[in-house]
Copies of this chain bind each other. A is one copy, B any other.
């Protein structure tokens, strides 16, 4: 019928993610973007619409890749281990982030979401999902006794979420292993059931 695309949409989107992720939205021009994607500006507009639309697609791409499978991958593990493994991976990722790109969702939460209702909704939804993951871990752990029930599950889920975001911000300017691995210890300690549970109810 017509001339076919010369590029793979998923591939150029991944390149767009990489650029937006590293430089942010405002600091990226259409020409920067098109070059990074290996396209002309005309092709970018033809295939995706305007700059905001490319960012939107790129963020969706990032979210799907970063949160899509991850939750499921950890959710099958024992609850406490799932949380531990989750943070281990986040810290690993943060420490090996040579370009200091951080987390594109967090970056979006601060740069574009506050001035754009749609992005605000998208970011908030993901944060709710991550909170939900933590919540389900805590619930399961409190049920089978592998996670302390001294704090409400909803509160603990919030604590884990804010810790996650905090690490992502902190690592962006201070990617120090001792700092990140140290700060997570008390948080995980918060989840561990206290010593011998017999003593808990044995004392009036």
Contacts and interface: CB of A to CB of B under 8 A. Distances in A.
Q: How many copies does the complex hold?
A: 2
Contact of A162 (B23, B107, B128, B183): B183
A144 interface: no
A186 B151 CA distance: 6
Interface majority SS (helix, strand, loop, mixed), chain A: helix
Contact of A165 (B128, B152, B170, B203): B170
A3 interface: no
A111 B111 contact: yes
A159 interface: yes
Contact of A26 (B26, B158, B194): B26
A123 B169 CA distance: 11
Interface in A35-66: none
A174 interface: yes
Contacts of A151: 185-186, 189
A202 B17 CA distance: 57
A101 B114 CA distance: 8
Contacts of A187: 159, 190
A192 to B, nearest CB: 10
Contacts of A127: 170, 173-174
7 contacts: A100-B114, A107-B110, A110-B110, A124-B173, A155-B186, A166-B166, A199-B203
